Structure 1
Amino acid sequence: MSPKTTNLNKPQALAPTQPKLAQYIGFFAIGYTLASAIFMMIQTQFALNSQLVMALSIVIGAYIAVRKFIKHQQRALNHSEINRLMFGGVVVVWVLTIIYFLAIWFWLFDTVSREVLFEMGMARPLPLLSSLVMMLVFTLVSARISLWTINRLLNPARKAV
């Protein structure tokens, strides 16, 4: 008589899986891009502060990403998901900004303008680098605050109580 073999492939208690945030980072990027384009059109008529435009574009991108996440997952983001969405969204925002500036650099500026801007940047790089770091910190902080705030406002568990 053969001994009974135990089935090691029994389904264990299913742990909740982490949702893939790539599509929500894409929603963030789409919202940011659309808001930026709308604000660029508005800026042709009214003078708007560039930091205000960037912050509002990030808030709109965060709103779209969090709303889609809550709609699909039926729950709010946790802290690690907020952090991953924040860093992914900021990376996408900066990649889009780099593409935008490279397009301006190559298609809008002529050789003389490029040379003048390059020389100005080489002569005094510290103000340029410090403003770049400040804008990076600004985008991180505004993305974090907007994701956290919108996540709390749209939290379905909080509305049910």
Structure 2
Amino acid sequence: MSKKKINIALLVIVLGLWGTVIYRYVRHFFFAPEIEVFQSTKNFSGKLTNSSKDTFELKPLERDPFLVLNYRNPNPIITHQRNSSTKVNIKKEPVSKVKRPFPKIIYYGHILSEEKKKETILLSVAGKFLKLSLNEQKENVKVISFNRDSIKVAFEKETQWIRLKK
């Protein structure tokens, strides 16, 4: 046989093998298995009668059959209950929340991204530089609304308008 015929024969065999592998993988996605439907019996009355009860009693194991160890302690520890109550009513003093002062916030402006149309607001909160978007909260500071020259900031249920730093 010539070299060309051998190559064609090998190519057909390889394509056949790969075709079989791909077919077996792909057929599960396209063909649903056929579900057999069973007919119910017509004589079924709906009542099951099984009146026999178990005649054995379950008991806890006394020894391990494999390790030959006893489970039960021959000298069980007896605990006594106290008749008197030891509860003492302790009055809890109400803990008042320490109201933190509104931090020093400096508004540097905002940046508009071109691809996302999302605005990022640049702030300095107590010396830390933050990048926030609208209604995002970091370090208990939330930007509620903003204009070009000012923003409305909420800090622990307090709100303030802060002007742009020039």
Q: Name the TM tier (shorter chain).
A: under 0.3
Higher helix proportion: 1
Larger RCO, structure (CA 8 Å, separation 6 or more): 1
TM-score normalised by length of structure 2: 0.16
Larger strand fraction of residues? 2
Pair member with larger Rg: 2
